[in-house]
Amino acid sequence: MPKKDLLAAMRMGEQLTLRQQIMLTLQLSIPAILAQISSIVMQYIDAAMVGHLGKEASASIGLVASSTWLMGGLCRALSVGFSVMVAQRIGAGDNQDARNLVKQGLCSGVAFGVLLAAVGAALSGGLPHWLRADAAICPDATAYFLVFALSLPFVQLSQLSAGLLQAGGNMRTPSILLVLMCGLDVVFNALLIFPTRQIGGFTLPGAGMGVAGAALGTALAEATIAIIMCVILLRSPVLGLKRGEKLRFIPAQLRRALTLSVPVAIEQAVMTSAQVVTTGIIAPLGTVAIAANSFAVTAEALCYMPGYGVESAAVTLIGQSVGAKRKDLVTRLGWVTVLLGMSIMLAAAAVMYILAPWIIGLLSPDEQVVALGTQVLRIVVFAEPLFGASIVVAGVFQGAGNSLLSSVLNFTSMWGVRITLTLAMVPRWGLQGAWIAMCIELCFRGALFLFFLWRKKWLPKEMRDAA
């Protein structure tokens, strides 16, 4: 007997039991979680390979990490705008309009990616100096950020294609391709970071590019997968190109996409600019602190990136529920996804606390860096479940078409709590003070998001009374 398509059943107005709602959430979440974990594995690969070049090389990447997140976050913002609209149109049964939105999104995405690349390249030379870094790590930091900036059109294309496929309910394809990207990253990094060397009697060729090679290897892997992902999207049954359907730029839809994307872009700018400020506060603590901070941030991602996988599922579920006018499911699916995300991150935090020294040790051979990185990583794991709540609730808000609310809440928490506490604690407790501030702020943020989820003000107006 063929397996029931629960997502299609939801769109058709069928009643779903609580068990079916949980199964549907898991069906969409698991592939997205694997995709997010694969992206973290790629960061681990970069960090571990560069870590063997020395703590200065690691610090050069850690210095600009928050700036790369800012650029990547802006790419994600555009993806959210079009993905939410596509999910809602599919939920409403208007697949032709959804396909036109895909074409509009891809054209807009390529143009935006090129613009970001130009801005990033222009800023790359001065960025390390603005962050008050040691002069010894500035050249490598500049080279890394420049290569990353030039790859942004492909980063945008990859994120947008993945988001649109997920909006249509296809979580598996992006997951498989992102796992493949990890493999490509290993191969390209091995060839580009290190010089030609002998391994077990075999000669392994290498370009010996160091830090710049790490950036280029990741960029090549990203570009390869972006092209494949886009081709698959354009050939997909529901969202792919159809004979006789021409691209139509519809101003009202572009404005709607902009309305959804701008708050997310502001949110990403707020969050990552606060991280840039935090990096600037930490930078005077020295190379060991910068490297330990960088590795701990990379390691922590193994806890919270599964939350972003559940968030992707939440955007799809809530978006299609709103489009299908399933007032009976919107709020319940919101809570199901949030509780799932919190549970996964609680389990991940427990594992991370135990394995912290081993994980940091994988990323760096330097004993000072490992010791400090382990200390700060074990501080923040206590906040992960509530951090997971804030991540998934943001996806619920976005799927409902209310991306502004999560932006306001994140701004309030990040700048009102974290930056204030970091400025107060770092002079007294060093890097540990910065991570204590982070832990307190993440707990506050999670509680804030849960409160507003409970209040239901995020729902579309026509659903508030009935939900």
- What pLDDT is recorded for position 466? 52
Rg (Cα) of the chain, in Å, rounded?
Answer: 22
Residue 147 has pLDDT above 50, yes or no: yes
pLDDT, one tens digit per residue, over 221-238 is 999 999 999 999 999 999
The C-alpha atoms of residue 279 and residue 282 are separated, in whole angstroms, by 5
pLDDT, one tens digit per residue, over 76-114 is 888 888 998 999 899 888 999 999 999 999 999 999 999
Q: Which two tokens stand for residue 147?
A: 């290569």
- What pLDDT is recorded for position 467? 47
Residue 37 has pLDDT above 80, yes or no: no
E strands of 128-188, at which residues?
none
Other Cβ atoms less than 10 A from the Cβ of 102: the count is 29
pLDDT, one tens digit per residue, over 329-376 is 899 999 999 999 999 999 999 999 999 999 888 877 788 989 999 999
261-290 mean pLDDT: 82
Positive or negative: CA dihedral 192, 197, 202, 203: positive
Start-to-end CA distance of the chain, whole Å, equals: 34
**Residue closest to 393 by CA, chosen among 460, 345, 462, 337:** 337
SS3 224: helix
**Residue closest to 318 by CA, chosen among 10, 3, 57, 45:** 10
Residue 183 has pLDDT above 50, yes or no: yes
20 to 28, 166, 267, 334, 392: CA distances (angstroms): 12, 19, 33, 14, 20
Q: Which two tokens stand for residue 7?
A: 């997502």
The torsion of the CA quartet 400, 405, 407, 413, rounded to 10 degrees, works out to -130
E strands of 266-364, at which residues?
none
Amino acid occupying residue 125 = G
- What pLDDT is recorded for position 31? 80
Cβ neighbourhood burial of 174 (10 Å; 0-12, 13-18, 19+) = buried
Residue 397 has pLDDT above 70, yes or no: yes
The C-alpha atoms of residue 318 and residue 315 are separated, in whole angstroms, by 5
SS3 237: coil
194-216 mean pLDDT: 83
DSSP 234-270: HTSTTTS--TT------HHHHHHHHHHHHHHHHHHHH
> 1 pLDDT band (50/70/90 cuts)?
very low
Cβ within 8 Å of residue 311, ≥6 positions away: 337, 341, 391, 392, 394, 395
